[in-house]
């Protein structure tokens, strides 16, 4: 388990101060979420993910923060999620997975916590979980057609897509009553207890963290095994009633 080092934390604090200066009392809530707020931080690979909540998101608001965002993008800060109160209240049935992940793993950088009290319906999470899983499976197959002849690209495809399917697995587990797992390694371990071994995903997670490299001559077989594990996750979602 790894967290951002002090230099990254200093950058996060500076980013928050600049956002506060740009928005003033229009800023209701600013949080950092995702790997920078948990135990999945990978130096040199992970982005800093933030979310802002304001009374209203107007063009003036977007213009006020555009320069701040532009300064921090080259330093590994993802584009922030910018929401107003009404959007946050009405998006719970549209993007419940994303909101649930923010609710469960975030740190407040400024203002009051707008995410702690969110109520998300299991049925909405179930719908989005299947939509994301099936859509990303189709995209994974399509991108294989584009990258199959380039070993480096095929390896990157597997490593970069892993996060998406671990997020899907995380929500599948929650729908099945397993709420303790959030970090990628904890999710994978809980997923293996529920679905059986997922060795290719485990190797890819080690590779993502820099602990292991995939053998070029074995990439085709690795992709086939990875695809089969993804398909098992998709099939498991079908068995969930919510």
Domain boundaries, the chain: 6-111, 122-238
Whether the CB-CB separation of 75 and 45 falls below 8 Å is answered with no
Strands (E), 85-194: 106-111
Taking Cα atoms as reference points, which of 44, 38, 49, 77 lies closest to residue 187?
38
Q: What is the pLDDT of residue 105?
A: 92
The C-alpha atoms of residue 169 and residue 191 are separated, in whole angstroms, by 7
Predicted confidence (pLDDT) per residue in 110-140, tens digit: 999 999 989 999 999 999 999 999 999 999 9
Q: Tell me the backbone φ, ψ of residue 110, rounded to 5 degrees.
A: -160, 150
Q: What is the pLDDT of residue 19?
A: 98
Predicted confidence (pLDDT) per residue in 59-70, tens digit: 999 999 999 999
Q: Please name the residue that has the structure tokens 């790997």.
A: 35
What is the crossing angle of helices 96-104 and 151-175, to 10°? 80
pLDDT exceeds 80 at position 230: yes
Q: Domain 6-111: what homologous superfamily?
A: Beta Polymerase, domain 2 (3.30.460.10)
* CB count in 10 Å sphere of residue 138: 10
- Span 203-225, mean pLDDT? 82
**Cβ neighbours for 232, distance < 8 A, ≥ 6 positions apart:** 195, 196, 198
* Confidence category of residue 207, pLDDT binned at 50, 70, 90: confident
Q: What is the pLDDT of residue 68?
A: 98
Indicate the pTM of the whole model. Answer: 0.87
* Confidence category of residue 242, pLDDT binned at 50, 70, 90: low
Rg (CA), the chain: 19
The C-alpha atoms of residue 233 and residue 36 are separated, in whole angstroms, by 26
pLDDT exceeds 60 at position 1: no
pLDDT exceeds 90 at position 107: yes
Structure-model confidence comparison of residues 208 and 9, the more confident one: 9
Q: SS3 of 79, please?
A: coil
pLDDT exceeds 80 at position 210: no
């Amino acid at each position: 388990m790894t967290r951002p080092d002090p230099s990254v934390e200093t950058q996060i604090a500076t980013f928050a101060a600049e956002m506060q200066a740009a928005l003033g009392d229009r800023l209701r809530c600013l949080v950092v979420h995702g790997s920078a707020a948990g135990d999945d931080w990978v130096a040199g690979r992970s982005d800093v993910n933030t979310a802002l909540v304001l009374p209203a998101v107007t063009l003036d608001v977007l213009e006020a923060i555009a320069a701040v965002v532009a300064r921090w993008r080259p330093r590994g800060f993802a584009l922030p999620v910018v929401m107003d109160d009404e959007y946050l209240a009405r998006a719970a049935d549209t993007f419940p997975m994303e909101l649930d992940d923010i609710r469960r793993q975030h740190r407040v950088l400024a203002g009051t916590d707008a995410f702690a009290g969110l109520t998300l319906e299991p049925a909405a999470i179930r719908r989005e979980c299947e939509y994301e899983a099936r859509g990303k499976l189709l995209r994974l197959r399509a991108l294989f057609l584009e990258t199959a002849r380039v070993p480096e690209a095929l390896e990157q495809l597997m490593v970069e897509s892993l996060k998406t399917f671990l997020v899907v697995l995380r929500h599948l587990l929650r729908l099945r009553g397993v709420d303790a797992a959030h970090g990628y390694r904890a999710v994978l371990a809980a997923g293996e207890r529920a679905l059986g071994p997922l060795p290719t995903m485990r190797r890819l997670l080690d590779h993502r963290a820099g602990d292991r490299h995939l053998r070029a001559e074995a990439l085709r077989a690795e992709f086939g095994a990875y695809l089969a594990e993804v398909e098992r996750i998709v099939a498991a979602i079908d068995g969930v009633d919510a």
